[in-house]
């Protein structure tokens, strides 16, 4: 009797696995056959697969690094440690948040799980938002790649200044929503008590802590990975069906060029560690303001990070997190163009 | 069978599935590296990323497997749903179902660029004409003060065949995708070719074109047109893209 009751309450997971796997394979086989039948469709699917896997392959190592960092923070950083060093003022917190990127070197795929973890450890909202937006640039790898691509000059300095400026402004604005609970999803808000039921048996040895960090990292990878994958798929779909040169034709003039490059940054969803090389490809075609806005806005917001934001923030805040950096970077890019007399 | 036991076995199933997917991803990246198919997806300047990814996937997979095999160890306590597992497994499914291919003629949407991408260095100008690839040619051509400066220089380039309705029966474009980071920024460029054998080659076929250059109007703008002496079928190169 009791077993029956259990079964109806929650079906055996093994059965569910088999069912899901069967359903998935039947579905994929059907799709595969349909694609083979229609040659054009098959080729289109192949182009989509190449584009999707390309974005995924380049981004996934960074998500892994970010997830592992998140696991290490969970196991090794105590909430008290964070609270002790907090700046008091909101502006101070926002500035501190941008500098936090130097301590946790992550790019835009890795920054979301780390930010979420830091929020749960009690990091103030404005600091976390500033970290989220600035960290993808504020790390040695991105400094290096920007330097290699553009040398030490206007683009590197402009990118750094604009990134910090926009991150601080957006963080201060969002920081005025006093209660993090109105901003964060429940799973991201600070845990009321330290969830320390990981080591019920024996003391937390270094080995056990490392294993725990890796397991938490793996969980974070799965939780954030789905947003990365959905975002990559969306970006790949757009690239497969929207001709690139129809966009290129739009990108002329001091305003339109900035607007275009920002939309491109959003759509392409290229990682911040390598986007300088991509921007290099547009140096001849686009204004300096557009290049700097591209390099500042791209790491903050793109399709895949927007989807990842939805796993941390409530929907209204995600909208702010996308629109505010967009508008601020656009303004800055146009101002730079005007100042340079483009 | 207690409810608690049920809960634990359910977590274990998910942990097994997680290990499997993580191992699968690690193996997938390793296979890409060993077969050289990685070049279909990213600029090999960033191949080290795939090495890091492979190592981290195996590391996380082993840690999860360890958790499966020693039930007294700590389990992760938040549950990963089956929907998440399926979505994360999607790249693996796609990689298994659709054979790995580089972007070719099917991926060209809206025409081939005649302007070079990237910064035009002097290197392309100074390079021996026979060593110039399509990107070098377009760069050198764009920097030249008069389009006719290159007339008569020998050309030896390879790429895939691309044809537009407006082209004559003896014309096609020999094209390559350029790629700075990964296929996300791939952009097709090409040089027009005039050859009596043009109609022998289907769109998408890889060819080596030898001949000499003539600066002429092509679709309203000056372009380095190849007057081909020989067009030969070749295998797709190991590095299908040009790196600016």
The closest CB to that of B74, out of A53, A212, A243, belongs to: A212
Query: Tens of pLDDT along chain A (342 residues)?
Result: 334 443 333 444 566 666 667 677 667 766 666 666 566 777 888 888 998 998 889 888 888 988 888 888 888 887 777 777 777 788 888 888 888 888 877 777 788 888 888 888 888 888 899 999 999 898 887 888 788 778 788 899 999 999 999 999 999 988 876 566 677 777 777 654 444 444 444 457 888 888 888 988 898 888 888 888 887 887 788 777 766 666 666 667 888 889 988 988 888 777 777 678 777 767 766 788 999 999 999 999 988 888 889 888 888 889 999 999 999 999 999 999 999 876
Burial zone of A273 (CB within 10 Å; 0-12 exposed, 13-18 middle, 19+ buried): buried
* Residue A84 confidence (pLDDT): 74
CB contact under 8 A, B84 and A16: no
Q: What angle do CA A281, A282, A288 make, to 5 degrees?
A: 130
Q: How confident is the model at residue B155 (pLDDT cuts 50, 70, 90)?
A: very high
Q: How confident is the model at residue B121 (pLDDT cuts 50, 70, 90)?
A: low
**C-alpha to C-alpha distance for B51 and A225, rounded to whole angstroms:** 19
The whole-model pTM stands at 0.79
**Contact map slice: B 198-227 vs A, CB within 8 A:** none
**C-alpha to C-alpha distance for A244 and A250, rounded to whole angstroms:** 10
Distance between start and end Cα atoms, chain A? 80
B191 touches A: beta carbon within 8 Å: no
| B32: its two tokens | 């890409």
CB contact under 8 A, A32 and B41: no
| B159: its two tokens | 């790429």
Strand partners, B222: B217
A201 touches B: beta carbon within 8 Å: yes
| Model ipTM value | 0.89
**C-alpha to C-alpha distance for A225 and A233, rounded to whole angstroms:** 12
CB contact under 8 A, B107 and A283: no
The closest CB to that of B56, out of A61, A216, A269, belongs to: A61
φ/ψ (deg, to 5) at A286: -125, 160
Q: What angle do CA A188, A159, A221 make, to 5 degrees?
A: 30
**C-alpha to C-alpha distance for A185 and A111, rounded to whole angstroms:** 17
- B100: DSSP letter: -
Confirm if B57 and B29 have CB atoms less than 8 A apart. Answer: yes
Is the pLDDT at B138 greater than 80? The verdict is yes
**C-alpha to C-alpha distance for A305 and A297, rounded to whole angstroms:** 12
Is B121 or A138 the better-scoring residue by pLDDT?
A138
* Residue A36 confidence (pLDDT): 60
- B196: DSSP letter: T
Q: Minimal Cα–Cα distance from B130 to chain A, Å?
A: 24
CB contact under 8 A, A46 and B98: yes
Q: A65 to chain B: which residues are within 8 Å by CB? A: 52, 56
A21 touches B: beta carbon within 8 Å: no
**Contact map slice: B 72-111 vs A, CB within 8 A:** 72-78, 80, 82-88, 90-91, 93-95, 97-103, 106-107, 109-111
**C-alpha to C-alpha distance for A82 and A271, rounded to whole angstroms:** 28
**C-alpha to C-alpha distance for A149 and A140, rounded to whole angstroms:** 14
B13 touches A: beta carbon within 8 Å: yes
User: Distances in Å between the alpha carbon of B5 and those of A268, B8, B12, B69, B71?
Assistant: 46, 5, 10, 16, 11
CB contact under 8 A, A13 and B87: no
CB contact under 8 A, B38 and A57: yes
Confirm if A291 and A282 have CB atoms less than 8 A apart. Answer: yes
The closest CB to that of B60, out of A13, A57, A214, belongs to: A214
**C-alpha to C-alpha distance for A167 and A94, rounded to whole angstroms:** 8
Instruction: Tell me the HSE value of B13 on the side-chain side, using a 13 A CA sphere.
Output: 17
């Amino acid at each position: 009797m009791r077993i029956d009751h259990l079964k109806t309450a929650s079906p055996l997971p093994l059965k569910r696995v088999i069912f899901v796997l069967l359903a998935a394979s039947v579905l994929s086989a059907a799709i595969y056959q349909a694609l083979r039948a229609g040659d054009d469709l098959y080729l289109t699917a192949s182009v989509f697969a190449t584009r999707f896997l390309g974005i995924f392959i380049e981004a996934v190592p960074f998500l892994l690094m970010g997830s592992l960092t998140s696991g290490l923070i969970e196991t090794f950083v105590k909430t008290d440690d964070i609270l002790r060093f907090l700046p008091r003022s909101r502006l101070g917190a926002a500035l501190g948040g941008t500098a936090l990127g130097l301590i946790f070197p992550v790019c835009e795929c890795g920054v979301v799980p780390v930010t979420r973890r830091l929020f749960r450890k009690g990091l103030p909202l404005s600091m976390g938002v500033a970290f989220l937006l600035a960290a993808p640039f504020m790390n040695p790898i991105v400094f290096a790649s920007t330097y290699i691509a553009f040398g030490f000059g206007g683009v590197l300095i402009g990118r750094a200044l604009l990134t910090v400026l926009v991150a601080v402004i957006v963080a201060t604005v969002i920081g005025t929503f006093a209660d993090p609970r109105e901003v964060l999803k429940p799973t991201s808000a600070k845990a009321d008590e330290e969830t320390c039921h990981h080591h019920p048996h024996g003391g937390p040895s270094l080995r056990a802590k490392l294993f725990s960090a890796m397991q938490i990292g793996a969980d974070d990878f799965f939780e954030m990975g789905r947003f990365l994958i959905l975002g990559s798929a969306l970006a790949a779909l757009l690239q497969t069906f929207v001709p690139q040169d129809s966009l290129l034709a739009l990108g002329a003039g001091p305003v339109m060029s900035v607007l275009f490059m920002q939309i491109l940054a959003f759509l392409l969803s290229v990682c911040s560690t390598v986007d300088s090389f991509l921007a290099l490809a547009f140096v001849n075609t686009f204004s300096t303001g557009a290049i700097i806005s591209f390099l500042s806005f791209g790491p903050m917001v793109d399709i895949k990070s927007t989807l990842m934001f939805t796993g941390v923030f409530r929907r209204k805040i995600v909208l702010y997190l996308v629109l505010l950096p967009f508008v601020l970077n656009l303004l800055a890019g146009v101002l730079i163009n005007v100042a340079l007399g483009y | 069978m207690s409810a608690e036991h049920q809960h634990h076995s359910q977590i274990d199933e998910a942990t097994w599935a997680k290990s499997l997917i993580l191992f699968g991803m690690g193996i997938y990246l390793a296979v890409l590296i060993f077969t050289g198919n990685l070049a279909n997806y990213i600029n090999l300047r960033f191949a080290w990323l795939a090495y890091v990814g492979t190592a981290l996937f195996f590391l996380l997979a082993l840690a999860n497997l360890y958790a499966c095999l020693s039930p007294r160890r700590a389990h992760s306590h938040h549950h990963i749903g089956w929907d998440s597992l399926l979505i994360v497994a999607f790249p693996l499914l796609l990689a298994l179902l659709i054979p790995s291919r580089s972007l070719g003629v099917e991926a060209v949407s809206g025409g081939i660029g005649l302007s070079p991408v990237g910064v035009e260095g002097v290197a392309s100008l100074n390079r021996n004409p026979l060593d110039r690839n399509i990107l070098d040619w377009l760069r050198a051509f764009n920097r030249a003060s008069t389009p006719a400066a290159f007339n008569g220089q020998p050309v030896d380039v390879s790429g895939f065949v691309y044809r537009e309705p407006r082209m004559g029966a003896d014309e096609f474009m020999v094209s390559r995708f350029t790629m700075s980071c990964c296929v996300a920024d791939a952009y097709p460029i090409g040089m027009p070719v005039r050859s009596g054998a043009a109609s022998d080659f289907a769109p998408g076929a890889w060819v080596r074109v030898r001949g000499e250059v003539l600066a002429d109007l092509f679709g309203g703008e000056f372009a380095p047109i190849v007057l081909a002496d020989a067009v030969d079928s070749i295998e797709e190169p190991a590095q299908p893209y040009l790196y600016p």
